[in-house]
Amino acid sequence: MTRKRRRLYLVFAGMALLGAAAALVLSALRDNLVFFYSPTEILDREIEPDRRLRLGGLVVEGSLKRNPGGGSVAFRVT
């Protein structure tokens, strides 16, 4: 095998390894790549109770309720 052919094989092997690593990372982060969920998507999925997520939508006017003790806010989203 010539040096040129060996170098070509090494380049192809490196590209294959890099592609496989990228595929593994993207598959592991699949759910985390979504910037926000719509209200419909949240209703269609089973979400763990303590999981943090981003919700996209509009707050219904007059639905915002703040806890006087602080810390919690409740509202409706469309």
Residue 24's SS3 state is: helix
Which residue segment(s) compose the domain that 46 sits in?
A: 34-78
**pLDDT over threshold 70, residue 31:** no
Residues 38 and 19 in one domain: no
* Residue 76: count of CB within 10 angstroms of its CB: 14
Grade residue 62 by pLDDT with cuts at 50, 70 and 90.
Answer: very high
Residues 23 and 56 in one domain: no
Residues 6+ apart with CB under 8 A from 59: 75, 76, 77
CA distances from 10 to 14, 19, 21, 77 (A): 6, 14, 16, 54
State the pTM of this model: 0.46
Q: How far is CA 31 from the centre of its chain?
A: 4
The domain tally of the chain equals 2
**pLDDT over threshold 90, residue 30:** no
Residues 16 and 47 in one domain: no
Residues 38 and 75 in one domain: yes
Residues 48 and 58 in one domain: yes
Grade residue 16 by pLDDT with cuts at 50, 70 and 90.
Answer: very high
Q: Which of 46-50, 55-59, 66-70 has the highest mean pLDDT?
A: 55-59
